[in-house]
Amino acid sequence: MRQIKITETVLRDGHQSLMATRLTTAEMLPIIKTMDSVGYHAIECWGGATFDAAIRFLNEDPWQRLKEIKKRAKNTKLQMLLRGQNLLGYRHYADDIVEKFIERSIHNGIDIVRVFDALNDIRNMETALSAVKKYQAHAQATLCYTISPVHNIDYFTRLAVDLENIGADSLCIKDMAGILTPQIAGELVSSLKRNVDLPIEVHTHATSGISQMTYLAAIKAGADMIDTAIAPFSEGVSQPATEAMVIVLDESEAFYTNLNMGCLEEVSDYFEKIKETYLENGMLDAKMLATTPKTLLYQVPGGMLSNLYAQLKDAGAEDKYQEVLEEVPRVRKELGLPPLVTPMSQMVGTQAVFNVITGERYKMVPNEIKEYVRGAYGKSTVPISDEIRKKIIGDKQVIHVRPADLIEPEFNNMKLELGQLAQSDEAVLTYAMFPKVGKAFLENKATANKIGSKNDEKNTTIKINAVWS
């Protein structure tokens, strides 16, 4: 029998996909010790959109969240998702920022760093993977799975060989849209097993309704690990349910998981109460829990679906949802067939929304799309046509080198810019990721600390007076 290892995603991708990453640290911490007793291979709890959401919407310090989770997870590895040279932001950063961010992430508790690039441009992953190994964590390199005339088994196999050659410790097939079918999953995993000597993890979403079959096909072909989410935050645009996959695998004669079902039930019961709260307040929309086989046609990732719907809801244009879904593959094709994963998913999705709402395609173009077309994010899978390029950036010069080669070291300058707020490397990195939002967060935190200190002094004085009286 072969053990299949499970990575639990509820603290990151589970709630990111279903409700735009709104779980709070206070909601997470009471259950961490129980999760630590389940026997997971890893708990994915950081990276992705968690950093942005924490400081932008929750007024929480993501670094503090990581440290608090680490205190309670004594036996289970903590995993994060990192966007290569983009880190957790939406632009490329200088190599010194990338290395510093990874060093501090590992120092504060991360054991496994899953590194991907939205374009599968290996040049954008090398610095991050090298830094992860330098600071002695596990470097998992990612194949962002997508479908196109050029994204075939040979393409992904060549990419996997290249990633093994630059030092990856394991590989993840990242199917962010839930479009990896069982047949292709089996063929792809088999090809990787023949050509690379690394553990293979498979990540998919339940959006299209085929995810459990995909996992079983991948496992039978030799996959070593899968990503799942505890039942209350599973299915729909999230991952398959942890409990369901564990039961199926443990009942088989070929595989086992070694997970504690009693602890899993306790974790599930805990998150079920939290889920009900978010359904009641509207943050978790039932639409995100639905199965949508049309995903196989539109190839839109789970997190992208919830964000697109939220954008349209804010604009009072929910009725345009289907039209936007149909526009996404058209925009993607015109922009060189990028995989729809952060930040490309947000960029392509936003452009699709603009095209539909304005009624004129490319009348409004975000700066990020202009920079991408210019080559500032890396090399597109296939060349962008001269017609589309001119429509978006005119006659601006296109970049052909590794984008980060054009960025001077940034950390010390950002530290100077931040001034008195630069109380730690983590504070500087928060500012680096999101200059406006990050600085506002740090200012609010400093103000709150001052008020807290004054209250402590006042309370201390009262206590002293009480003693002396």
DSSP readout, 278-299? HHHHTSS-GGGGS--TTHHHH-
Percent of residues, the chain, with pLDDT higher than 70? 95
Per-residue pLDDT, 279? 93
Kindly indicate the confidence band of residue 457, based on its pLDDT and cuts at 50, 70 and 90: low
Per-residue pLDDT, 413? 97
pLDDT tens sequence across 414-454: 999 999 999 999 999 999 999 999 999 999 999 988 776 65
Is the pLDDT at 342 greater than 80? The verdict is no
| Distances from the Cα of 411 to the Cα of 79, 376, 408, angstroms | 25, 20, 10
Distance CA 42, CA 55 (A): 25
Per-residue pLDDT, 452? 63
Joined tokens for residue 420 = 């008195």
Rounded to the nearest 10°, the torsion over CA 176, 278, 6, 247 is: -110
**Could you tell me the pTM of the whole model?**
0.90
Kindly indicate the confidence band of residue 63, based on its pLDDT and cuts at 50, 70 and 90: very high
Per-residue pLDDT, 280? 93
Alpha helices of 291-434 — where are they, by DSSP H? 295-298, 302-314, 321-334, 344-358, 367-374, 386-393, 411-418, 425-433
Residue pair 56/296 in contact (Cβ under 8 Å)? The answer is: no
pLDDT tens sequence across 135-190: 999 999 999 999 989 999 999 999 999 999 999 999 999 998 899 999 999 999 99
pLDDT tens sequence across 375-398: 999 999 999 999 999 999 999 999
Per-residue pLDDT, 104? 98
Per-residue pLDDT, 463? 38
Per-residue pLDDT, 141? 98
Higher pLDDT, 177 or 31: 31
Averaged pLDDT for residues 62-83:
98
Per-residue pLDDT, 469? 24
Kindly indicate the confidence band of residue 464, based on its pLDDT and cuts at 50, 70 and 90: very low
Name residues whose C-beta falls within 8 Å of residue 266's C-beta, 6 or more positions apart in sequence. 31, 34
Per-residue pLDDT, 458? 53
Kindly indicate the confidence band of residue 219, based on its pLDDT and cuts at 50, 70 and 90: very high
Distance CA 130, CA 120 (A): 17
- Closest to 423 (Cα-Cα) out of 61, 161, 179, 19: 61
Mean pLDDT for the chain?
92
